[in-house]
């Protein structure tokens, strides 16, 4: 008997945690963080209690209460952990946090399956981001060890790490009773896949997050053709933009950028999502068009390096961009009164690896030659503009989604204050979504022609009823049986 249970992404965008069970095989597809539910309780000033993560998150409905799933060091605050894992794998569709963010809580003896691009992004995130990111390794918490000086004394053990088993998905991968066919698809982050899962009661299609209007639309088309050939019984489909009739495409966006960057007399400052490498490609091309170089931050440059090391294909390379080295902590970068080794101590270990590259630039370099650069700048980096000092005729291009909640609206208001201060408001808004339009989702489902449709990752699941007669809507944690 094949059963599907949604433990997230029901009536909301993100937080995907899909349990598919068939006989003795139990596999989660994605194990993401629900930003909506998280935002109902937490703010930057009211953060979870690290020592009691799992217990608190279970009570708040952020994690499902399942045995044999969670890492014992945190679960022990709640109950005795099972000796053995009770799940056969976690399969990740892509590395966005609403799909992979809660992997940090999973026991290390449950194997993870994903694409090499997904693994590389998670690895870069783990090495560079603040917060609880334990994907490829887990650091065992609350552990003691004998002191090295006096073995009769116990000290906190902060170095104990367990490697997680990561398996890179082949086009066809067998996990116990499941045969999983993996197809790369178009989305707004490297390493995104859709799946066709062969079970004892027919094929199940899971889209993950998908679109058709980006640089990789033909990959999504190919997946749809393959999915159709399996004559599936069920599609679990995202529906983020199910109410949007059409989509503005990535190539339209690049064309718009070309026209915006021509003949700008000052600095071009831009913002786009940190891990959207296809958007970075659009900005690299736009910068080239204006005979400039795109300047990205250390985190993006480091991520490009990790993608390259892992052999992820069709990505921008670190040599195609310039790397912005900001002043940090003491603000003594290039200050001759301080030895270079002391200057370097202002930077983290992974940042140090990038500082000496020939394509690294400082605020001074940009300030002296603003017409040579397109400077990418996140909201929290707007303060670097004090050092860059943009002159009259400088512009700002915003290429991220419009605010979806009060917090984002407030951030945008503050960003506008900064832009007005530096004479760069009004800004230009040019963005294209990472998700398929309603028209494209409808066309995809009609082509694949499954018996049942299960909408997830959408606030409007009822919309699916307008084009399919068997739409399954179950509540959180309620099983749906295929037989």
Identified binder of Zn ion from the candidate list 7, 17, 96, 107, rule CB under 5 A? 96
For the record, the structure tokens of 390 come out as 């943009």
Our CB check for Zn ion shows the closer of 98 and 320 to be 98
Nearest approach, Cβ of residue 208 and Zn ion (Å): 7
Q: Is 98 in the site for Zn ion (CB under 5 A)?
A: yes
Our CB check for Zn ion shows the closer of 22 and 278 to be 278
Q: Is 217 in the site for Zn ion (CB under 5 A)?
A: no
Q: Is 299 in the site for Zn ion (CB under 5 A)?
A: no
Q: Is 435 in the site for Zn ion (CB under 5 A)?
A: no
Place of tokens 């139990």: 26
Cβ–Cβ under 8 Å, residues 186 and 94:
no
Our CB check for Zn ion shows the closer of 269 and 458 to be 458
Our CB check for Zn ion shows the closer of 239 and 390 to be 239
Nearest approach, Cβ of residue 93 and Zn ion (Å): 8
Long-range pairs of 352-359 with CB within 8 A, sequence gap ≥ 24: 353/302, 353/305, 354/298, 354/301, 354/302, 354/305, 354/323, 354/325, 355/325, 357/318, 357/323, 359/293, 359/318, 359/319, 359/321, 359/322, 359/323
Nearest approach, Cβ of residue 316 and Zn ion (Å): 19
Q: Is 209 in the site for Zn ion (CB under 5 A)?
A: yes
Surface-to-core class of residue 78, CB atoms within 10 Å of its CB (0-12 exposed, 13-18 middle, 19+ buried): middle
Size of the site for Zn ion (CB under 5 A): 4
Cα 5–7–8 angle (5° rounding)? 125
Our CB check for Zn ion shows the closer of 121 and 286 to be 121
Cβ–Cβ under 8 Å, residues 374 and 287:
yes
Nearest approach, Cβ of residue 209 and Zn ion (Å): 4
Cβ–Cβ under 8 Å, residues 121 and 191:
yes
Our CB check for Zn ion shows the closer of 325 and 436 to be 436
Surface-to-core class of residue 222, CB atoms within 10 Å of its CB (0-12 exposed, 13-18 middle, 19+ buried): middle
Our CB check for Zn ion shows the closer of 96 and 181 to be 96
With contacts defined by CB under 5 A, name the span among 9-17, 146-154, 312-320, 400-408 that binds Zn ion.
9-17
How far from each other are the two terminal CA atoms of the chain, in whole angstroms? 7
Cβ–Cβ under 8 Å, residues 105 and 54:
yes
Our CB check for Zn ion shows the closer of 100 and 298 to be 100
Helix axes 298-309, 277-289, angle to 10 degrees: 110
Q: Is 278 in the site for Zn ion (CB under 5 A)?
A: no
Nearest approach, Cβ of residue 242 and Zn ion (Å): 14
My answer on whether omega of the bond before 281 falls inside 30° of 0, hence cis, is no
Nearest approach, Cβ of residue 357 and Zn ion (Å): 30
With contacts defined by CB under 5 A, name the span among 96-104, 247-255, 360-368, 381-389 that binds Zn ion.
96-104
Our CB check for Zn ion shows the closer of 14 and 64 to be 14
Nearest approach, Cβ of residue 272 and Zn ion (Å): 15
With contacts defined by CB under 5 A, name the span among 11-19, 145-153, 159-167, 287-295 that binds Zn ion.
11-19
Our CB check for Zn ion shows the closer of 22 and 209 to be 209
Q: Is 198 in the site for Zn ion (CB under 5 A)?
A: no
Stretch (H or E) spanning 253: helix 250-261
Q: Is 14 in the site for Zn ion (CB under 5 A)?
A: yes
What letter does residue 106 receive in the DSSP assignment?
B
Q: Is 190 in the site for Zn ion (CB under 5 A)?
A: no
Alpha carbons 260 and 371: distance in angstroms, whole number: 14
Nearest approach, Cβ of residue 436 and Zn ion (Å): 12
**Closest to 202 (Cα-Cα) out of 425, 422, 415, 22:** 22
Stretch (H or E) spanning 202: strand 202-206
Q: Is 17 in the site for Zn ion (CB under 5 A)?
A: no
Nearest approach, Cβ of residue 95 and Zn ion (Å): 8
Nearest approach, Cβ of residue 114 and Zn ion (Å): 13
- Residues at the site binding Zn ion, with contacts judged by CB under 5 A: 14, 96, 98, 209
């Amino acid at each position: 008997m094949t059963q599907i249970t949604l433990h997230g992404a029901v009536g909301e965008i993100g937080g995907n945690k899909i349990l598919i069970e068939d006989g003795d095989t139990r596999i989660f597809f994605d194990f993401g963080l629900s930003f909506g539910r998280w935002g109902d309780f937490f703010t930057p000033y009211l953060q979870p209690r690290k020592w009691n993560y799992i217990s608190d998150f279970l009570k708040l409905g952020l994690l499902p209460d399942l045995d044999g799933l969670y890492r014992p060091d945190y679960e022990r605050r709640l109950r005795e952990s099972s000796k053995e894992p009770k799940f056969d794998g976690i399969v990740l569709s892509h590395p966005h946090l609403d799909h992979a963010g809660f992997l940090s809580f999973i026991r290390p003896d449950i194997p993870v399956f994903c694409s090499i691009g997904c693994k590389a992004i998670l690895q870069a995130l783990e090495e560079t981001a603040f917060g609880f990111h334990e994907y490829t390794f887990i650091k065992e918490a609350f552990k003691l060890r004998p002191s090295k000086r006096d073995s009769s004394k116990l000290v906190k053990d902060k170095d104990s790490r367990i490697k997680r088993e990561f398996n890179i998905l082949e086009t066809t991968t067998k996990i116990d009773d499941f045969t999983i066919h993996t197809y790369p698809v178009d989305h707004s982050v490297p390493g995104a896949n859709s799946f066709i899962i062969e079970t004892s009661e027919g094929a199940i299609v899971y889209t993950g997050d998908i679109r058709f209007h980006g640089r990789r639309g033909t990959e999504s088309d190919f997946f749809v053709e393959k999915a159709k050939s399996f004559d599936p019984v069920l599609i679990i489909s995202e529906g983020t933009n199910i109410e949007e009739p059409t989509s503005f495409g990535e190539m339209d966006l690049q064309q718009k950028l070309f026209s915006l960057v021509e003949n700008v007399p000052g600095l071009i400052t831009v913002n786009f999502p940190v891990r959207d490498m296809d958007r970075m490609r659009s900005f690299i091309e736009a910068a080239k068009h204006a005979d400039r170089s795109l300047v990205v931050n250390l985190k993006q440059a480091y991520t490009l390096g990790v993608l390259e090391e892992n052999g992820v294909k069709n990505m921008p390379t670190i040599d195609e961009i310039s790397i912005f080295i900001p002043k940090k902590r003491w603000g003594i970068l290039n200050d001759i009164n301080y030895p270079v080794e002391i200057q370097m101590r202002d930077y983290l270990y992974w940042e140090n690896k990038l500082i000496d590259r020939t394509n690294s630039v400082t605020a001074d370099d940009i300030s002296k030659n603003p017409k040579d650069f397109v400077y990418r700048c996140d909201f929290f980096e707007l303060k670097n503009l004090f050092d860059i000092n943009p002159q009259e005729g400088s512009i700002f291009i915003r290429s991220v989604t419009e605010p979806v909640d009060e917090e984002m609206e407030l951030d945008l208001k503050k960003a506008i204050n900064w832009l007005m201060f530096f004479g760069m408001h009004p800004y230009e808004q040019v963005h294209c979504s990472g998700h398929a339009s309603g028209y494209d989702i409808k066309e995809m489902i009609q082509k694949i022609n499954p018996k049942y449709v299960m909408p997830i990752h959408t606030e409007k699941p009822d919309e699916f009823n307008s084009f399919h007669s068997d739409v399954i809507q179950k509540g959180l944690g309620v099983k749906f049986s295929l037989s």
